[in-house]
Structure 1
Amino acid sequence: MRPILLILLTLWTSVVFSQTEYAYETFDDTRVVNGHSVETNLEGVLTFIISHRFGTLNRGAYEVWGLDNATMRMGLDYGLTNNLMIGIGRSTFEKTADGYLKYRLLAQSSGDRTVPVTITLLGTTALKTLKRFDGIDLTFQQKLSYTSQLLISRKFGPRFSAQLMPTYLHRNLVEDDEQNDILSLGFAGQYQLSKNWSLSMEYYATPGSALPDGSGASPEYSQSMALGVQIDTKGHVFQLHFGNSRGMIEKFFVAETGGKWQKGDIHFGFNITRDFTVKGRRVR
């Protein structure tokens, strides 16, 4: 009887005193710049996002260095659970509607249960609704594109986090000099300057062989890169950044980035997010 009691006491002690510490807020927001981070909304939290990308800085003073030419995306994100969220949005750029599903599969942790990275799965769909004036009517299916991403991140300390984004993009309809299927590898990072201020960067290494060179029907495209600063006021998150992508969803910045940094094709832009607790009580 005594050995059994000793075993039960050992098991109870291991359960009661076991500790697993999770890495919280690997990134300050669910977006890095254009693309997603591994973060998901908590259950019942609704986020309203307003994003702007202005024209390029090399347009000069006549167009106020791009401020006269703006595109916008408005979106809503909602946490179905603490690890599962959905979102919808609409961009003025090519009048595109989009939706996504995002699930956090693993969370970085240490202690009794050690997991070295956080892994989140992302699936998106985009619908281009821009009218054509060439007399060609496209089917609903032809207007669609899809993106799948595996978001892998690690928080290396209280200040620095990094993320890899293996990406698969499929567009149902493309020009003759474009590819329907594109593989890209994204890199992102964030450095915490203070409690409410951080620096962020984002880069998508899409192979040059998958991007048109401008000799065909499509314009010349390049790889997407952006740098920014983020301000968290606990009520709103403000992201101010510079990048060479005008589109704010995966279809555009992964495979259809028209700007080149070396030529001054740099867009100033911002994201503003505001959280609303729709269900339950939010815990940070």
Structure 2
Amino acid sequence: MKYLITATLLFAAPAIRAQEKDLLGLIDSTTSGQKEYVTGAFKSSRVINGHSIEFIGKNVLDVRILHRFGRINDGIGEFFGLDQASMRLGFDYGLGKNLTIGLGRSTAGKELDGFIKYRLIQQAAGVKGAAPFSVVLATGAALTTQKLAADAKYTDTKHRMAYYSEIIIGRKFTEAFSLQLAPAYVHRNLVQDLADNNDTYALGIGGRLKLSKRVAFVADYHYVISGLNKDIYKNPLSLGFDIETGGHVFQLHFSNATGMNEKAFITNTTDNWGSGEIRFGFNLSRVFTIGKRKTKIPPGS
């Protein structure tokens, strides 16, 4: 199952090539010769778990509710996981067109997290030399507030902290297809397993395939390169559908990850798709304009 994203994209490739057109075709003919930034590569600032190359816009507050149920293979006794739930409540705010900050609280691990996301380069078309892809930088931290065991050896706040940084490189190839890569680094001040390192390196892959005007298939996968005991921890894979409904984006998905911040889903995923350890979940994003909006945001962002 770890190759499911690659297989999906390969099967989709003929259809994508059949409808692919030059990015200049995405720009209205009346704006020929003018630089136009490409938007709408993804319909949300996150693919499923990981950040996407999209931004929410200046003076926009994005309230995000992420919900993940229990494992489907727990059977009817747990109503196929629906009797259990983990969630993250997040608040992302656009300080500028290319700068977003965010805070979140997760029930899994009782974690508080925050991030800063900055767009270094934005994909454009219409003029010679326009950037063919977008480059985004993201960095954040997570604090575990869960009560420790009475005999815990390390109890200082610093031992509860973890940090991450990543570079996201993505491109909207056509109106229907977008793809991004995200090399990521996670540092945990304290690890639970002696076989793990404090530093973990991973490569994220995110893709979107538009199926209709308001529905798109999305995939989010992170391959852990080093730093974790592979006998225990698995690569997080999430597959889902974005449904645009006016002022918000509703996403239904399946994932083997419980955690919903970078530290959690990259370093704490232990469930295996191949064993049926899959969780159904949904993400809900609702945006509000705070004050006067000076920049246009993509529909559904």
TM-score by length of 1: 0.89
Aligned to 1:140: 157
Q: 1:110 Cα shift?
A: 1.8
4+ residue runs over 6 A deviation: none
Letter in 2 for 1:191: L
Once residues 213 and 223 of structure 1 are traced to their aligned partners in structure 2, the CA distance between those partners, rounded to angstroms, is 9
Please say which of residues 99-108 and 133-142 is displaced more in the overlay: 133-142
**Total equivalences in the alignment:** 263
From 253, 257, 264, the equivalent of 2:265 is: 253
Once residues 264 and 270 of structure 2 are traced to their aligned partners in structure 1, the CA distance between those partners, rounded to angstroms, is 9
Q: 1:18 Cα shift?
A: 4.6
Aligned to 1:88: 103
From 274, 282, 287, the equivalent of 1:270 is: 282
Q: Where does 1:73-84 land on structure 2 (aligned, <5 Å)? A: 73-84=88-99
The answer to whether the Cα contact below 8 Å between 1:43 and 1:279 also exists between their aligned partners in 2 is: no
What are the Cα deviations for residues 39-63 of structure 1, in whole angstroms up to 9, with x where unaligned? 1111000010011111111000111
What are the Cα deviations for residues 147-188 of structure 1, in whole angstroms up to 9, with x where unaligned? 101011000001000000000010000132211001111111
Matched, 1:159 2:176: yes
Q: SS in structure 1 opposite 2:64?
A: strand
Once residues 194 and 20 of structure 1 are traced to their aligned partners in structure 2, the CA distance between those partners, rounded to angstroms, is 28
Computing the radius of gyration from Cα coordinates, the structure with the larger value is 1
Q: 1:36 Cα shift?
A: 0.7
Q: Where does 1:196-275 land on structure 2 (aligned, <5 Å)? A: 196-207=214-225, 210-213=227-230, 220-275=232-287
Unaligned runs of 5+ in 2: 1-30
Q: Where does 1:1-284 land on structure 2 (aligned, <5 Å)? A: 18-112=33-127, 113-136=129-152, 138-175=155-192, 176-207=194-225, 210-213=227-230, 220-281=232-293, 283=296, 284=298
Letter in 2 for 1:33: I
**Relative to structure 1, is the Cα distance of residues 251 and 17 closer, same or farther in structure 2, using a 3 angstrom cutoff?**
closer
What are the Cα deviations for residues 183-229 of structure 1, in whole angstroms up to 9, with x where unaligned? 1111110011112110000111103x532255xxxxx1111111000
Q: 1:134 Cα shift?
A: 3.3
TM-score by length of 2: 0.84
Letter in 1 for 2:145: T
What are the Cα deviations for residues 103-146 of structure 1, in whole angstroms up to 9, with x where unaligned? 01111112224111101100010000001123225111111100
Letter in 2 for 1:156: F
Once residues 22 and 81 of structure 1 are traced to their aligned partners in structure 2, the CA distance between those partners, rounded to angstroms, is 16
Q: SS in structure 2 opposite 1:80?
A: strand
Letter in 1 for 2:264: F
* Structure with more relative contact order (C-alpha pairs < 8 Å, separation 6 or more): 2
The answer to whether the Cα contact below 8 Å between 2:123 and 2:171 also exists between their aligned partners in 1 is: yes
**Relative to structure 1, is the Cα distance of residues 159 and 17 closer, same or farther in structure 2, using a 3 angstrom cutoff?**
closer
Q: SS in structure 2 opposite 1:130?
A: coil
For the aligned residues, what is the CA RMSD?
Answer: 1.5
* Percent of residue pairs bearing the same amino acid type: 43
Once residues 92 and 286 of structure 2 are traced to their aligned partners in structure 1, the CA distance between those partners, rounded to angstroms, is 10
**Relative to structure 1, is the Cα distance of residues 140 and 194 closer, same or farther in structure 2, using a 3 angstrom cutoff?**
same
Once residues 57 and 143 of structure 1 are traced to their aligned partners in structure 2, the CA distance between those partners, rounded to angstroms, is 30
